[in-house]
Amino acid sequence: MKSIEQYYVPWVKGIPMYVSGHIELAWRQPELHRMMSNENPNEPSPKVLEAIVNYAKKANRYPDQGLVVRSKIAEINGLDGPENVLLGNGSSEVFDNIFRTFLQPGEEVIQHTPCFGIYKLRGEILGGKLVSVPMIYKDQKELAYDPDGILNAITDKTKIIVIANPNNPTGNFMDAEAFVRIAETGIPFIADEAYVEYAGLKMSQVPLTKKYKNVLVTRTLSKAYGLAGLRFGYAMGDKDVIGQISAALIPWNVGTIPMWAALAALEDTEGLAMRVKFNNEQVDFIQESLSDIPGLNIFKSHANYILFDGGGAGKKGKDMVAFAQERGIILRPESAKYGSDGWFRVTIGTREENQMVVKVIHEFFNQ
């Protein structure tokens, strides 16, 4: 008899299950301050909670295709209608569906690094190869996008290019003109706008989807809308392309409760404005409060996290993370890069948590 191992698809064999240790830890120890996963520190708005309760009562029924919430998303973004919008169980699932549509084993996905890890995870499950183009560390101050580097990395095997805008963890935007240059290649091109609401939809690349069929824009309600646990994300694009990608969707992939809660969140423009204002003020507070630490490079962020490089102060990021954790705060470690091992990332927390983190970072760098 053959062993089960021999039946595993070769590129899936040996890939470990994805577990976020920090998130597991935070749920097990709720007294810890979660400043590591770019969650929103504010609980969902009362309107969202009301929708959750209302639609929980209909949880005995299968969901529909989400025409109402898809129409609302189209309206907000100036698109023709629901056929331009695809829903996912978080934008992580949306990437999975897009990748399934375009990527075969041995083919390549181009990403910019440092960046969010999901593109690698979902690409590798399909046997794809990840091609990482490093951002440019300019004058040890700013991590800049490198559109020429991305264009130069294109080969016959390139089937997807994905750019987070703003980027996680750097918090900056790529120039609009660079989006056009990459769109012009005709290669499926995803602009991941998970955090765009913090800067406003004027920064969105969604208008490009009208001119370029190969451009797709993804979003999530996990960040500015504060609904990470609900799992609701979406993609926008040309209706034929969205229709084809939808063929890869698992039937009823998004439940009734997330769909109607998402609609309530999208309609609650005041709730969003309040969350965005709070976040952006707190980003400024943290950035300004830490600007007096010599050798600590603080990356100007347009999102709900801030990247730091303490290498110039002779400090290690992993020591900073351990120091904070001993004081009850979970931060996000970052791998060594650009000749420095001083990197770490802080997610905006509550007002009290942000004051606490400023104090702890000062203490660490003053040692």
Ligand X SMILES: Cc1ncc(COP(=O)(O)O)c(C=O)c1O
Binding site for ligand X (CB under 6 A): 38, 90-92, 116, 164, 168, 192, 194, 220, 222, 228, 233
Is the Cα dihedral 265, 266, 268, 270 positive or negative? positive
Instruction: Name the DSSP letter for residue 249.
Output: S
HSE-up of 107 (CA within 13 Å, CB side)? Answer: 18
Q: Which is nearer to ligand X, 192 or 309 (CB)?
A: 192
Q: Which is nearer to ligand X, 54 or 335 (CB)?
A: 335
Q: Which is nearer to ligand X, 293 or 321 (CB)?
A: 321
Does residue 337 sit in helix, strand or coil? strand
Q: How far is CA 235 from CA 73, 89, 219, 266, 285, in A?
A: 10, 11, 6, 15, 33
Q: Which is nearer to ligand X, 18 or 62 (CB)?
A: 18
Q: How far is the CB of 37 from ligand X (least distance, A)?
A: 7
Q: Which is nearer to ligand X, 95 or 365 (CB)?
A: 95
Q: How far is the CB of 293 from ligand X (least distance, A)?
A: 26
What are the DSSP calls for 143-199, one per residue?
A: EE--HHHHHHT--TTEEEEEEESS-TTT-----HHHHHHHHTT-S-EEEE-TTGGGT
Q: Is 171 left (phi over 0), alpha (psi -120 to 50) or beta?
A: left
Q: How far is CA 35 from CA 188, 306, 328, 332, in A?
A: 34, 10, 10, 7
> What is the per-residue burial (b if ≥16 Cβ within 10 Å, else e) of 184-210?
eeebbbbbbbbbbbbbeeebbbbebbe
Q: Which is nearer to ligand X, 164 or 261 (CB)?
A: 164
Question: What is the rounded radius of gyration, in angstroms, for the C-alpha atoms of the chain?
Answer: 21
Q: How far is the CB of 29 from ligand X (least distance, A)?
A: 21
Q: Which is nearer to ligand X, 116 or 173 (CB)?
A: 116
Of 181, 190, 137, 164, nearest to 336 by C-alpha is 137
Q: How far is the CB of 101 from ligand X (least distance, A)?
A: 18
Q: Which is nearer to ligand X, 33 or 332 (CB)?
A: 332
Of 288, 360, 366, 364, nearest to 328 by C-alpha is 360
Q: How far is the CB of 3 from ligand X (least distance, A)?
A: 35
Q: How far is the CB of 220 from ligand X (least distance, A)?
A: 3
Q: How far is the CB of 170 from ligand X (least distance, A)?
A: 11
- Cα separation, 171 vs 199, in Å, equals 10
Q: How far is the CB of 1 from ligand X (least distance, A)?
A: 40
